[in-house]
Structure 1
Amino acid sequence: MIRAGVLLILCLSVCKFCDAEKRLSPVIIVPGLGGSRLEAKLNRTDSVHFLCRKTTTDYFSIWFSFEFLVPFVKQCWMDNIKLTYDNETRTTNNHPGVDIRVEGFGDPKYVEWLDSEQKLVGVFNTMAESLVELGYVRNESLRGAPYDFRKGPSESGRYFENLKSLVEFTYEINGDRKVTLLAHSMGAPMSAIFLRRQQQSWKDKYIRGLISLNGVFAGSVKALKTYVVGDDLNEFFIPESFLKTLQISSSSLPLLMPYSGLWKDRILVETPSKNYSMDNIEEFFTDIGYATGWEMWKDQLPHLTLEPPGVEVHCLYGTGIPTITQLLYNQPSHFPNKPAFKYGAGDGTVNLESLDSCSRWTKQQKQKVYVQGFPGMDHNQILSDSRVLKYVSDVLSNYLQ
């Protein structure tokens, strides 16, 4: 009788746990800048170097690829992945003969790891494992929504349509349970833009909430630094000066610039002869010799807003890491390629003002907004920090439906 009683208790406990698993809010991961795999297929008539292949029979990984670290070969890589801007169509395009597509939409492994071996370059891998331990199942209750991070929201209409379909499908296969969007860095404003495009009735039916991890909701001064010297994405092995060519050709970079609504007339770039703020940002682009940047910024301007997304938000971010707040030029000859930097509060990449801009939504929408800072945590560390893993797990556990 005792043994039977113990077995009965164990069975009830297991069933209760299984029931909890069935009621977890499904999660769709929206990665940040550089957090999606890209594939390319070539059918080119020219190349920048005789070592460059012009044609391929199938798609191959172009991001992430270590080709950009190999002399000569990195020229081929850059010429294949960079974009060109068409001032008439207001769009960016690949080099003729280069077809680039996003790999693995819907499958979380493509946002967990950037390398196909799933060993070297992890992104959401630790977070995903934490969710699996909580009871999530990949490709069922845990999904991934990678995108072409080179493209700004003005060129992401199809992505937003696909994301909407993925939300609805994930909702349906999980017993009509509302979906939680889990976004990092640039993925947070992309998620917010996506949500603003939807009817409130649709959000009320399909969305449980948005969990933002170091969301760049109001841009970052570091984006201006990228236009003049590039950025290594906080990875020591990536040469920032080389990546600059790709970065400034991307229409997504203006999305990460300081938003005028927050930064207003604050001086962001200081030189002996002229200062630059968002009020005269066109002059900045002209003076650095990249007027195309101004054109691409205008294309994204309608999306550079701090309007609330209309869903419950958990806004998590790191603090206490020196973050660029101003570009300084002490000598005219140093402009624009040799800036010095002034530092302030943030996560090392995004300024605190931007990270915390989500707090204004507490008074702008009826849905709840939770804001939590984590001292000593940098921009990418948030994806694996134990404090954040626990917070996310606790939130999702409380979302049991």
Structure 2
Amino acid sequence: MEPQQQRLFAPLVLLLATIFFAGAPAVIGHGEAASGLHPVVLLPGYTCIQASDAGRGWFRLWENYTALQADPGLLPCYQDQLRLVYDRAGGDYRNAHGVETRVVSFGTARSFRFDDPAQKNACMERLVEALEGVGYREGASLFGAPYDFRYAPAAPGVTARAFSDFSTSLTRLVERASERNGNRPVILVTHSFGGFYAMEFLNKRPLPWRRRHVKHLVMLCHGVGGSALIMQVLASTMGSPSPAPTLRDTVLSFGNRSFGSMFSLLPSPKVYGDTPLVITRAKNYSAENMPEFLAAVGFSDDEVARYRTRALPLTLNFRAPLVPMTSINGVGVPTVDKVVYWDANFTEMPRVVNGDGDGIVNLETVLALQRLVGDVPDQPYFKSILIPNTTHNSMISDDSALRVVVKEILEVNQATSS
């Protein structure tokens, strides 16, 4: 067996990007094109999807800042269009009555391009440009798999039609991308919540299919086990803790109560156990007593039951995808570790206790990913990289971080098949 074919579980690697890449050519420019590249399929992060609504002819729903900034009076209608409804009879989430949505430009990277310069750094546009700079071409060797972030995978045996439809589309896209590139298996590259989508997608595909069609999974800014930050977000929906919430905060705070994906982001008992995450004078809330916390911040018994049946089983039964993996995360940035509502008034701004991470993903979840993957004997390859002083968004926008990411993708191209 070749060295690259041997199972490798690399200890956490700390890359000092400013030293390691001093004097290295930037990956942002063109001219370094390589032939015979394995195709790349990109899965973006949470809220980085442009969805359209057919209510009055197709128009951009998320994100439609221009219209809302011009007429803030449209906000209630906009919120209602984003809202999901839980259909008890069907046992699944769906759009509100009369609303039809679709993601923009599935199969291409065009949906990651925004007119708003601020969004250029928040989504994958800079990464697309960096990959094009080393020879990737939109629609030929570079593809995108946007998804509706309001929905999420669900436990086995539980209906999740949106994720099932996405999985069918992604299966076809991966097969088509491979066929167009000399039957080379694809490299899946994800950011944030896209990593969760990718792992669940792979685990639902037959192992022979994975080995035939997927060369590597490269996950950016993804750990396992959720975050106390999401508990803070859900608590904030009880009131208006921010004196001047942004449009994004307003929409997401409203939507998080109805989105099927909100429970998937909560801390997992498998990672956090009974560690206090939300602290009050009378009671602490941990991942293990999450149903009590959800009830305390106003969720109904039916909503708590959905957490128990749809999201919790996935967080308790982590499965490595059994394809070669590389995990790249930022560290050295204050990241929510615990939230204190001393008087149990969840409508007030809490005191936040920070730990390490990238500002969104806590280092503890990255270590948990390393540990859980390392415990799987059949996982062929796993490498974990930490980039100092790198935030969640700068991983896909800053030149120094992009150099690391693109370098790893190029190395994956050169690796012998596992």
Same fold (TM over 0.5): yes
Native 8 Å contact 1:228 1:337 kept in 2: no
- Amino acid corresponding to residue 302 of structure 1 in structure 2: P
Pairwise CA distance, 1:86: 2.9
Q: Calculate the TM-score normalised by the size of structure 2.
A: 0.82
Unaligned stretches of 5+ residues in structure 1: 1-16, 43-55
- Which of 198, 205, 208 in structure 2 is aligned with 1:198? 205
1:121 is matched with 119
- Which of 221, 239, 247 in structure 2 is aligned with 1:214? 221
Pairwise CA distance, 1:249: 1.0
User: Residues of 1 paired with 2:227 and 2:295: CA distance?
Assistant: 20
Native 8 Å contact 2:216 2:324 kept in 1: yes
Q: Identify if the C-alpha distance between structure 1 residues 25 and 388 changes in structure 2 by more than 3 Å, giving closer, same or farther.
A: farther
- Which of 181, 186, 199 in structure 1 is aligned with 2:193? 186
User: Residues of 2 paired with 1:239 and 1:124: CA distance?
Assistant: 18
- Amino acid corresponding to residue 213 of structure 1 in structure 2: L
2:249 is matched with 240
Q: Identify if the C-alpha distance between structure 1 residues 118 and 325 changes in structure 2 by more than 3 Å, giving closer, same or farther.
A: closer
- Which of 348, 369, 373 in structure 1 is aligned with 2:359? 348
Native 8 Å contact 1:24 1:396 kept in 2: no
Pairwise CA distance, 1:21: 3.2
User: Residues of 1 paired with 2:288 and 2:173: CA distance?
Assistant: 39
Q: Secondary structure at the match of 2:360?
A: coil
Native 8 Å contact 2:31 2:133 kept in 1: no
Greater RCO (CA < 8 Å, at least 6 residues apart): 2
User: Residues of 2 paired with 1:313 and 1:357: CA distance?
Assistant: 15
Matches within 5 A, 1:309-320: 309-320=321-332
- Spell out structure 1 runs of 4+ moving beyond 6 A: 17-20
- Amino acid corresponding to residue 370 of structure 2 in structure 1: S
1:250 is matched with 259
Matches within 5 A, 1:1-400: 21-42=34-55, 56=56, 58-66=57-65, 67-69=67-69, 70-110=71-111, 112-113=112-113, 115=114, 117=115, 119=117, 121-122=119-120, 123-154=123-154, 155=160, 156-229=163-236, 237-291=246-300, 292-298=302-308, 299-304=310-315, 305-332=317-344, 334-335=345-346, 337-360=348-371, 361-364=373-376, 365-398=378-411, 399-400=413-414
- Amino acid corresponding to residue 119 of structure 2 in structure 1: V
- Amino acid corresponding to residue 137 of structure 1 in structure 2: R
Q: Identify if the C-alpha distance between structure 1 residues 60 and 239 changes in structure 2 by more than 3 Å, giving closer, same or farther.
A: closer
- Amino acid corresponding to residue 130 of structure 2 in structure 1: S
Pairwise CA distance, 1:391: 2.3
Worse overlay, 84-93 or 258-267 = 84-93
Unaligned stretches of 5+ residues in structure 2: 1-29, 155-159
Worse overlay, 83-92 or 30-39 = 83-92
- Amino acid corresponding to residue 249 of structure 1 in structure 2: S
What is the aligned-residue identity percentage?
27
Native 8 Å contact 1:83 1:95 kept in 2: yes
1:91-146 deviation digits (Å, cap 9, x = unpaired):
22222111111111001111x22x3x475522111111111111001011000000
User: Residues of 2 paired with 1:239 and 1:164: CA distance?
Assistant: 32
CA RMSD of aligned residues (A): 2.4
Q: Secondary structure at the match of 2:86?
A: strand
Q: Give 1 or 2 for the bigger CA radius of gyration.
A: 1
User: Residues of 1 paired with 2:174 and 2:306: CA distance?
Assistant: 29
Native 8 Å contact 1:106 1:144 kept in 2: yes
* Equivalent pairs, count: 364
Q: Secondary structure at the match of 1:279?
A: coil
Q: Identify if the C-alpha distance between structure 1 residues 293 and 220 changes in structure 2 by more than 3 Å, giving closer, same or farther.
A: farther
User: Residues of 1 paired with 2:141 and 2:48: CA distance?
Assistant: 20
